[in-house]
Chains A and B, each alone.
Chain A
Amino acid sequence: MDLLNALVALANFVLVPALAYGSQLALGALGVTLIYGILRFSNFAHGDTMAFGAMVTILVTWLFQGIGLSIDPLPTALLALPFGIIATAALVYATDRVVYRFYRQAKAAPVMLVIVSMGVMFIMNGLVRFIIGVDDQRFADGARFLISARDFREMTGLAEGLAIRTSQAITVVTAILVVIALFWFLNRTRMGKSMRAYSDNEDLALLSGINPERVVAVTWIIVAALATIAGVLYGLDKGFKPFVYFHLLLPVFASAIVGGLGSPIGAIAGGFIVAFSEVTITYAWKKVVTYLVPEGMEPSGLLQLLGTDYKYAVSFAILVIVLLFRPTGLFRGKSV
């Protein structure tokens, strides 16, 4: 019984939140890694792209809520998501035409593009703050829990409850669907194959008649969709606040680099590695351990390795360890 209780507590406080967070990071890191693979630079504006997509989705959600449109028990935001994706895709595509294309055609050094993306980051950040403000926005509606802790306790008779929030369930399901669709696209369609060819060897791809501008345009649109979905899922799960999205840049990049920049499968693995490490290292293990040790040996402290405020330190430590011992990431990404 105690073992079961310990498992449930573990699932409730560590496994479920980390699974949801890992899915969000994986989607974010997929965007970063695609840009790196095709356009060959680290896009610092990615966090703010996520924020922009989430913001548009929130605005449309409010509109739908205003006219009474809903898909209860699912959150209305899912209905608004396509509009967010379209707006974000339009924005990043326009950004590419106005800003990035010039440097791409001039064959500028990758670090130049990184600096350019810093400028884009400023603009997008300002745009989001200008339109929606800097405050917390809640836009989640519909059923709050798939299983609430109390229902779970009544169902199983255990002392510990397992709560699964709707947003967490939706996050994981959406992430799985998106990843399946993305890999199908990359591996099975002509466009996806062109993208991979372009990523592997640009000159060879050009010689075989692949239109680079089309590849780049499709990449931006896919990245916009991924960023918006990641942003909205994160917002549903933890609430929307513009500057939090900026700070997501670090764990997202850590995920992409740990997996190997340019490798989609690596981005997913990296997302979960970073999320699980963050949650396990900042979780106070007292409750779980109390169930497992014999009576009278309960720990007195919280058994928390690091305070939750140090979660960046965790992403960072993983990043440095991987870079020192395996510089191209776990899944052998590119190293330009």
Chain B
Amino acid sequence: MNPTLRGVMMFALVAGLIGLTGLMQGWNSALVILNMGLVSAIMALGVNLQWGFAGLFNIGVMGFVALGGLAAVLISMPPTTEAWAAGGMRMGAALVTGALTVIAAIFAHNRLAPGWQRGLITLAIVIGGFLLYRTLFDPARDAIESVNPAGTGYLGGLSLPILLAWPAGGLLAAGAAWLIGKTALGLRSDYLAIATLGIAEIIIALMKNEDWLSRGVKNVVGLPRPVPYEIDLQNDPAFVEQAGNLGLSAVEWSTLYVKLGYTGLFTAVLVLLLVLAQLALASPWGRMMRAIRDNETAAEAMGKNVKRRHLEIFILGSAICGIAGAMMTTLDGQLTPGSYQPLRFTFLVWVMVIVGGSGNNFGAVLGGFLIWFLWVQVEPLGTWAISMITTPLPDGSALKDHLIASAPQMRLLTMGVVLLVVLRFYPKGLLPER
């Protein structure tokens, strides 16, 4: 089949699935799936950039997504002025001290002549810097966290429009990716994978425990929205009239209207990123990337700076994941560090890319929608299937209850089977690289 036709048909299939959801489970559910599908597609685009274009095995996606979420809080929430007064400056000083320590240690290590003296001096800088950092950091943290701990207890944000958080999330993730790339990109694929997995865990641990920064597991709720609130819409007479014209109740139309607002915003971002990714893929830079991916040694022999290119694409891909993370937190309206699980935010995105077709941007986007749809719908389908299978069992039997209670876990199983089947029979994914 002609690849373009195949792509069109695949996307039509996804649209049909979402449309079917709308008809059977209501348009509200369909829009919920569509919105998260858009976010997932952006994440998949980011991973595809790294894996599909450059063959970088990054399984720390969760960390960059979480950093995007953190950016949403830091940009949009109002600053806690008392907390800033109590310990803001000291916290700043502590963080600067920490950063200077690291820089000094790296500087010492790079500039001094190799030998045991160098190790000793570097170690002394690290230990001394750490002690100084903790002396500054601990009281500042305690002061900030003791300001109204039930309500704020953190520094708060900049009170800027939340849409700014999306690029900011990308920048934050890019900054982290630069740091990580500088240390870990020289490693070969398996090691890079483990390193990124570890970094993602560390980022989540930071966000869970550093209450002064993002309230940790106490969560930040009530983030401002880029779209109107349902209740305001329902109180607007013009809006109620509009709903009447559509034959919907004001409540129904307001929920749909808000979700459609997100859909519009997310679609705009996805289209923009997709266009940029396509342009990049077709540019000389994209060709060079693929040449490096296919044969690193040959590309290096041709004078390509492999390390530099890898760093670039690692940063770009991670930034896209950060943007998606900020968008997701905006959609949720809250930051809950406890909810970041690697299976959901790293490995599921990987399934999306592999199933959709790594190396093909449209494939990654398709995978994002399709896998997200499956992830959501397998749960009710599994419950339904299990209750059909267990019909012969008597009501109240322990086995039946257990099976029905476990049905939601079917989604992990399904994802694994989908991934393995696609890898075996369509190793290039549903929309293969051209």
Contacts and interface: CB of A to CB of B under 8 A. Distances in A.
Given A122-B347, A312-B205, A111 B423 contact: no
Given A114-B57, A246-B343, A324-B183, A126 B413 contact: yes
A119 B202 contact: no
B144 to A, nearest CB: 16
B343 A122 contact: yes
Interface stretch (B2-10, B78-86, B268-276, B402-410): B402-410
B376 interface: no
Interface stretch (B20-28, B155-163, B191-199, B232-240): B191-199
Contacts of A114: 57, 189-190, 193
A78 interface: no
Interface in A231-288: 243, 246-247, 249-250, 253-254, 257, 261
Given A42-B193, A310-B209, A312-B198, A125 B343 contact: yes
B383 to A, nearest CB: 12
B180 to A, nearest CB: 10
Given A246-B342, A316-B198, A316-B199, A121 B416 contact: yes
Given A116-B420, A246-B342, A254-B194, A126 B412 contact: yes
B369 interface: no
A99 B195 CA distance: 26
Nearest to B202: A313
A133 interface: yes
Contacts of A115: 350, 354, 419, 423
Interface residues of B, number: 46
Interface in B34-85: 55, 57
Contacts of A131: 406
A54 interface: no
A309 B402 CA distance: 33
B423 A119 contact: yes
A102 interface: yes
Contact of B419 (A119, A310, A313): A119
B188 A315 contact: no
B184 interface: yes
Contacts of B209: 307, 309-310
A149 interface: no
A249 B196 CA distance: 13
Interface in B173-225: 183-184, 187-191, 193-195, 197-199, 201-202, 205, 208-209
Given A115-B354, A119-B420, A130 B195 contact: no
B417 interface: yes
Contact of A309 (B205, B350, B416, B423): B205
A112 B187 CA distance: 17
A323 interface: yes
A253 B183 CA distance: 18
A320 B190 contact: no
A301 interface: yes
Given A130-B406, A310-B209, A316-B198, A122 B57 contact: no
A312 B202 contact: yes
B341 A243 contact: yes
Contacts of A116: 420, 423
Contacts of A312: 198, 201-202, 205
Given A121-B416, A246-B343, A323 B201 contact: no
Contact of A129 (B351, B406, B414): B406
Interface residues of A, number: 50
Nearest to A252: B194
Nearest to B419: A119
Nearest to B382: A130
A324 B350 CA distance: 27
A122 B202 contact: no
A175 to B, nearest CB: 23
A129 B379 CA distance: 14
A47 B116 CA distance: 39
Given A309-B208, A312-B198, A122 B415 contact: yes
Contact of B413 (A42, A130, A134, A313): A130
Contacts of A319: 194-195, 198
Given A122-B419, A130-B409, A243-B341, A335 B202 contact: no
A314 to B, nearest CB: 10
A118 B347 contact: yes
A110 interface: yes
Interface of A: 41-42, 99, 102, 110-112, 114-116, 118-127, 129-131, 133-134, 243, 246-247, 249-250, 253-254, 257, 261, 301, 305, 307, 309-310, 312-313, 315-316, 319-320, 323-324, 327, 335-336
8 contacts: A115-B354, A121-B416, A123-B420, A126-B416, A129-B406, A130-B413, A133-B406, A327-B187
Interface of B: 55, 57, 130, 138, 183-184, 187-191, 193-195, 197-199, 201-202, 205, 208-209, 341-343, 347, 350-351, 354, 402, 405-406, 409-417, 419-420, 423-424, 427
Given A99-B420, A124-B416, A130-B409, 8 more contacts: A102-B424, A118-B351, A119-B416, A120-B420, A247-B201, A253-B194, A319-B198, A323-B191
